[in-house]
Amino acid sequence: MQRATARPGTTSRLLPVLWAGLAVAAAVVAGVLADALSSSTFSARIATAVTRSGMDVAGIACVGLGLLAALVRTRGVSERDIRTLDRRLDRAIVAVGGAWLVVVLCDTAFRAADAYGRPVTAVGGGELLRWATSLASGRGLVLTAACVLVVIGCATARLVREGAVPPRAALVAALLGLLTPAVTGHAGTSSDHELAVIMSALHVAAASAWVGGLAAMLLFLGGRRALLDPVVPRFSRLATFCIIGVGITGVLNALLRLPSVGALVTGGYGWLIITKVVLLAGIAVLGNAARRRLAAGRFPVLRWAAVEVTLMALAVGVAAALTQTA
C-alpha cells in the first residue's frame, strides 16, 4: 500500500511538464506539416505556434484547477481536506497563471512583430500598443491578459485570507481567458460569424473542463481514496456532457469552415480535423476505463488516466494549430 500511494507524488512532478511539452510540440509539428500557420517567416510561425499552444495549455490547467476546487465541495469531503486541497490548488493557480501571463505577453509581441514584418526586437512600444488595440486578435489577447490577472488575483486573495473569493471565481475568469483568443481567431473570419463564435466558445469551454478536470484530478487526487470516492462521480457526469458538447460543436465548426466533405482530405485544415477526431475517439474509449479504475482505486490507475491525458495533450496541440488557420 505504501508503494501505491507514493506513486502519485512522483508522477505529479513529471507529468505536467511532459503533457505541456507534448501539446506544444504537437502544435508546432501539426501546424508546419499541414501548413496551417500563416506568417511571414518560418521563425515567426514557430514562435506563434509555441506561444499559442502554451497559452492553451496554461489556460486549460487553470480551468482544471478551478474546476477541481468546485467539485471537491461535496458531501463526504471533510472541511479539513477541502482547506488543505484549496491551498495546494491556489498555489498551483498562481504559478500556472503567472506562466500563462508571460506567454500571453510573448504571443502579443510575436504577433505584432509578424504583422509589421520586422524582428520582435525592432517593434516599438507604440507600435505594439496600436496592434494590440486596433485589431480584434490584439484586443483578444489584451482581454486574455486581463482575465489571467483576475485568475491570479483570486487565487492570491484566497491564499492571504481563506474564503476571501469564491472558488468558482478563478474558474470563470480562466474560462473567459481561454475563450477570447478562440472567438477572435478563425471563428471570427467565418461567413456565419455569430454561429461560429458561439460554437467555438462552447467547444473550448467543454474541452477545457474535460481535459483540465481530468488532469487536475489525476495529479491532486490520484492516491487519495477519501477524496476520489465523492469527486469521481461528479466529474464523470460532467465529463459525459463535455464529451457530447465537444463532439457536436466540433462537427458544426467543421461544417462551417469546410467548403465540402471532400475538403477533409484535400487541405491542411481537413487533415488536422481528421487527426483530432482520431485522438478524441481514443480519448473517449480510454475515459470510461480510467474513471472506473480511479473510482475503484485499482492500480496502476495513474497509468490509464495518464495515457488518456497524454492523448488529450496531443489533441490540444492539434486544436491550437487549427485555430491558426487562415
pLDDT tens-digit readout, 221-262: 877 777 877 888 888 889 889 988 998 988 888 887 777 777
Grid cell listed for 294: 480511479
Low-confidence ranges of the chain (pLDDT < 50): 1-10
Amino acid at 283: I
Is 64 in contact with 212 (CB distance < 8 Å)? yes
Which residues, other chains included, contact 275 with Cβ-Cβ below 8 Å and sequence gap of 6+?
30, 318
Is 190 in contact with 196 (CB distance < 8 Å)? yes
pTM of the model: 0.87
* DSSP at 126: H
How many CB atoms are closer than 10 A to CB 32? 16
d(CA 142, CA 14): 31
Give the pLDDT confidence score for residue 141 in this predicted structure: 92
* DSSP at 72: T
Four-residue CA torsion sign, 255, 287, 180, 41: negative
Is 95 in contact with 207 (CB distance < 8 Å)? no
* DSSP at 59: H
